[in-house]
Amino acid sequence: MDNMIIPFIMLLIITIALFLERKGHESKMADIYEEKFEEWKKFSSIEKEEKKCKELVGLVFLEDSKLDIQVLDKKIIDRLERKKFTIKL
């Protein structure tokens, strides 16, 4: 049993050394990737394209052969009075 203690201690020392070396390399790699990510954030330009979406601003009703427009946004009343709209089928 005494002859197995020395190889066991050597194996334990090698295992601890390899574990610490791996941890050191992993932290170095993480630092390198963080630096590269910060550089990328500086030089990359993210352009957001704003899509023009349709917006519900009013409702059109037909009552007794008369068109009634119910406006949901009061800013649109001016456009309706100036007749700046198009009719689509």
Mean pLDDT, residues 12-25 taken together: 95
**Contact present, 71 and 55 (Cβ < 8 Å):** no
pLDDT at 19 over 80: yes
Structural domain contains residue 62 = no
Domain that holds residue 28: 2-43
Structural domain contains residue 72 = no
Structural domain contains residue 67 = no
Residue with the bigger pLDDT between 51 and 1: it is 51
> CA dist 26 to 21, 23, 34, Å?
9, 5, 12
Structural domain contains residue 71 = no
Structural domain total, the chain: 1
Residue with the bigger pLDDT between 12 and 41: it is 12
* Total-model pTM: 0.42
pLDDT at 41 over 80: yes
Structural domain contains residue 35 = yes
Distance CA 27, CA 36 (A): 14
